[in-house]
Amino acid sequence: MDNCIFCKIAQKQIPGKVVYEDDVCLAFLDLSQVTDGHTLVIPKAHYSSILDADPEVVAHVYKTAQKLAQQIVKNCGAQGCNILTNAGEVAGQTVHHFHVHIIPRYDEHDGLTLAFKDRSQEVDLDDILNCVTK
């Protein structure tokens, strides 16, 4: 896409702090640096999100993310990491080019909060199962 910032980075039209590159994907430091070492892994081809990406490309991007996450955790002294993607604005996606975040985690007070609310008493899992498996 002509105006996609990640396509421009992949095509070397604008600079990025590249940490990895191969024929299929590119990884670079996220400008926001939620934590030190926050890295994005993107396919060079444009897909708006994981939902429309080629399954082989998704597999390659995640294999690359796993390898880089291991390297980042070891080299940066992190205690763990979050590896995630957002699909759609409601899920927090701000750049509509499939990308995977590698967010190193140094301790529970590093400023990133991912909270999952237990709704088990509020939902009917059979109804949800029927919806998911239609």
Q: pTM for the whole thing? A: 0.94
What is the SS3 assignment for 58? helix
H helix runs in 36-124, sequence order: 55-76
- Summarised one tens digit per residue, pLDDT across range 85-109 is 999 999 999 999 999 999 999 998 8
User: CA 103 to CA 48: how far, in whole Å?
Assistant: 21
- Summarised one tens digit per residue, pLDDT across range 6-42 is 999 999 999 999 999 999 999 999 999 999 999 999 9
Q: Which long-range contacts (CB under 8 A, 24 or more apart) does 119-126 make?
A: none
Catalytic residue among 38, 60, 96, 99: 99
Domain annotation for the chain: domains and CATH numbers = 5-132 (3.30.428.10)
99 is catalytic: yes
